[in-house]
Amino acid sequence: MKLYQKNATLFLIAIIIKRFYQNLQKLQVLIFWLELAVFNILNNSLKCSLVLCLINFTIICMKLKFIDLFAGIGGIRIAFENAGFKCVFANDFDKKCKITYDLNFPNEMVLEDISKLSTNQIPDFDVLTAGFPCQPFSLAGKRLGFQDERAKVFFDIVRILKDKKPRAFMLENVKNLQYHDKGNSLKLIYQELENIGYKVTHKVLNAMEYGNIPQNRERIYIVGFLDEDSFKKFEFPNKIPLTKTIYDCLEPDVDEKYFYNNKPLFEKIKDFITKKDTIYLWRHGCLIENKKKVCPTLTAFHNIPLILTDKGIRTLTPREYANFQGFPQDYKFPDVSDYVIYKQLGNSVVVPVVERIAKQIYKALSSS
């Protein structure tokens, strides 16, 4: 084989390898190709150089590791795994979440209050993720912020970051966190994270604008990096068109139990629920119509959105809830009451939005 033919073959091999490793940068493929060529020239054996390069390359490309704190049912985990990260630790203190989580992921969730979790129990990792409790900042709650015991867990996140010094983190919370206490809560969060050496940025993203999921769900994402270079390279994802409609998330055949026909609330709502392409919400004794033709923000509370179908008025099913959160079709739920599943999904994230952020974090970290 002539030298140029050999090099063309090597380049093809490099391209094929790229398909096996997610998130590879052009530069890494180029380095791989050059390495392959040099090894080949040195020992004149394609097989031997290929093995050497693959070992070398696997070491370079070993997946970035993350930990899934406040893991819930693993929405953030699915997103980060889809972006090419490897999960090495998961924690939550909710027994019911653990049942759902362990049904779906191979390494078990550690069931423990985060305040009792010692950093020695956590293996080394590159990225910390945490959708920490949002009730203290939520418009739907009492909005006590850091006065609320549940928000104190933020300081456990800081403790773990300080002890383990991972390269990056992503925190998720309700949009209102940015306005809470006239912006002082977010300021405090920035101060705490910057004090331990992180460069921090944040953005509010709506799932219907950034995830191609027909749900009006705005969440704040706080991202930080230890080194300046990765921080500069990181950008939040851009808006993308919403091509999915509510029909992409609705199931065709639904069990009778989800229909409202002749149930107590039926008489109150039947004359107001008139449009089949609209999702409604019964909240605080009022019926709210979603004018944007998307699903209103799914919550962990008992107000499940309502729709009108040919067979009558019904609530969304748990599977539809999962679809509006962008969960994969093969995600499994245990045999528990529907309300447990609604609550778990309402507390979770819209997977495609987090996945797009995770990909940007991966890019920033792997090109630095």
What amino acid positions are annotated as catalytic residues? 134
Name residue, tokens 């929405």. Answer: 75
Quick check: 133 binds ligand SAM (CB under 6 A)?
yes
Separation between Cα atoms, residue 205 and residue 135, nearest integer Å: 19
Quick check: 134 binds ligand SAM (CB under 6 A)?
yes
Quick check: 320 binds ligand SAM (CB under 6 A)?
no
Q: Is the dihedral of CA 281, 283, 287, 293 positive or negative?
A: negative
Q: Which is nearer to ligand SAM, 74 or 166 (CB)?
A: 74
* Candidate list 73, 128, 171, 249; residue touching ligand SAM; CB under 6 A: 73
Q: Which of residues 210-269 bind ligand SAM (CB under 6 A)?
A: none
Separation between Cα atoms, residue 301 and residue 346, nearest integer Å: 8
* Candidate list 10, 114, 168, 249; residue touching ligand SAM; CB under 6 A: 114
- Residue by residue, DSSP assigns 84-148 as T-EEEEEEES-HHHHHHHHHH-SSPPEES-GGG--GGGSPP-SEEEE----TTT-TTS---GGGS
- The answer to whether the beta carbons of residues 215 and 323 sit under 8 Å apart is no
Separation between Cα atoms, residue 49 and residue 307, nearest integer Å: 61
Q: Which is nearer to ligand SAM, 37 or 350 (CB)?
A: 350
Q: Which is nearer to ligand SAM, 74 or 237 (CB)?
A: 74
Q: Which is nearer to ligand SAM, 11 or 93 (CB)?
A: 93
The edge-to-edge listing of strands for the beta sheet with 306-309 is 286-289, 280-283, 306-309, 312-315
Stretch that binds ligand SAM, among 90-98, 201-209, 213-221, 233-241 (CB under 6 A): 90-98
CB atoms within 10 A of CB 366: 19
Residues 23-62: x/- map of binding to ligand SAM (CB under 6 A)?
A: ----------------------------------------
Q: Which is nearer to ligand SAM, 134 or 208 (CB)?
A: 134
Quick check: 349 binds ligand SAM (CB under 6 A)?
yes
| Nearby residues of 347 by Cβ (< 8 Å), 6 or more positions away | 72, 73, 131, 300
| Positions that interact with ligand SAM (CB under 6 A) | 70-76, 91-94, 97, 113-115, 131, 133-134, 150, 153, 347-349
